[in-house]
Amino acid sequence: MKADSAHKTAEASARAAILADVEAYCEELRPLEELCYLERRFNPDIQRLALKHNLLGMPLPVDLGGRGADYVTYARALARIGREGTGVRTFFSGQTSIGQYPILRYGNRQQQERYLPRSAAGELVMAFGLTEPDAGSNPLEMTTTYRRDGDRYLLNGVKYLISNGSIADVVVGFGYPADKSGPQRRMSAFIIETAGDTFVREELHSKPGMYTANTGMFEMVDHPVPVENLLGGEGNGFRIAMGTLVSGRLSVAAGCLGVIEDCLAEALNYSRTRSQHGKLIGKHQLVQEHLAEIEMARVASEALVLKAAEAKAASDADRDNAERAAAADIQVAQAKFFATNAAWQAADRAVQVFGGRGWSELYRVGRHLQDVRVCRIYEGTDEILKLKIAASLLGREFNAFS
């Protein structure tokens, strides 16, 4: 009994320590992030300070170099990070939720030990490469291929719109066997090291926001991957991709909760200090309506994000339980769909509260508005998530696409 309570106390203090480190990270990062944003350039301090505060592998087990954060703690951490901007949070999603996660969840011990401690120690930037120019909402339409060549695979194809894509040292990437007549025609997942001239990368600029985070594309031309870097067995790529997206969607939903929190804080502050028509704008009832709506977006998003985090934790704790996996899949989709739309609307309302100043990158609310829009697109668009949620109600035979 005593041991049990000591264990719980230790867990609670580990959780508190992670969140305290996240807070310190965010405070130190904020002025540096603002400067990079205004200068529209990549912010290397997102990663440098994350290493300083030991945040590059929050949910990884301690014996693999991480902090052992449970899903709820990690969601709270990402919500706090999301307040600093969707670009900052997107780096973490790429590194941890969709970069490290598939290796932790589907990798063997050798793969985990080779990549995860180094990624938590800041030696490896991670990414997840599923999307291609002609395969977005339907990754089954991808054209990247692999073929066996002795003790390695050779990969060919282009991956597009990848978070951390042109700075990653390691990408969990996907492709089909080149020999379509072979027995194994389903896609496979690989742990791809990006060094070498067979991996050609390019940063994507022309983004209306998220200037401080990296979005890239890359082409692989007979790019060699050792056979031991096949992830989760041949032909299991689609299952790994879909499983990883659940983790990624949760991270997006949590980040959007943070965006709403920050928009609320900023709008409240401005409403208490800006006067028009002889009184503080917070005393105008139509301004109060914006604040009340943002607050309700916050409350509802927080409830959905935490419920989804608990469902994901329950599913990961009981890996063979298909019912729990399905519940986590849907609850995460619901949280992502709701929180991303709520964040977009909250940012829009906060900009309205700020008036003309709000429509500017000089103010946090204006930056949130332009950054957060992408959250309704990546890791599953609004439309794909709605179809998923509806099919879960109607039954499999109502799936809008196969």
Q: Which among 44-52, 262-270, 328-336, 379-387 is the span making contact with ligand FAD, rule CB under 6 A?
A: 379-387
Rule CB under 6 A: say whether 126 interacts with ligand FAD: no
Rule CB under 6 A: say whether 86 interacts with ligand FAD: no
In angstroms, what is the minimal distance from the CB of 10 to ligand FAD? 35
Rule CB under 6 A: say whether 54 interacts with ligand FAD: no
113 is catalytic: no
Rule CB under 6 A: say whether 401 interacts with ligand FAD: yes
Catalytic residue selected from 323, 379, 383, 397:
379
Rule CB under 6 A: say whether 162 interacts with ligand FAD: yes
Q: Which residues contact 134 (CB under 8 A, 6 or more apart)?
A: 141, 142, 143
In angstroms, what is the minimal distance from the CB of 134 to ligand FAD? 8
Rule CB under 6 A: say whether 389 interacts with ligand FAD: no
Rule CB under 6 A: say whether 130 interacts with ligand FAD: yes
Rule CB under 6 A: say whether 137 interacts with ligand FAD: yes
Closest residue to bound ligand FAD by CB? 136
Considering the complex, state which of residue 50 and residue 281 has its C-beta at the smaller distance from ligand FAD.
50
Q: Which among 121-129, 144-152, 311-319, 358-366 is the span making contact with ligand FAD, rule CB under 6 A?
A: 121-129
Q: Which among 24-32, 129-137, 144-152, 359-367 is the span making contact with ligand FAD, rule CB under 6 A?
A: 129-137
Rule CB under 6 A: say whether 94 interacts with ligand FAD: yes
In angstroms, what is the minimal distance from the CB of 127 to ligand FAD? 6
> Catalytic amino acids?
379
Residues near ligand FAD (CB under 6 A) are 94, 127-131, 136-137, 161-163, 215, 374, 377-379, 381, 383-384, 387, 400-401
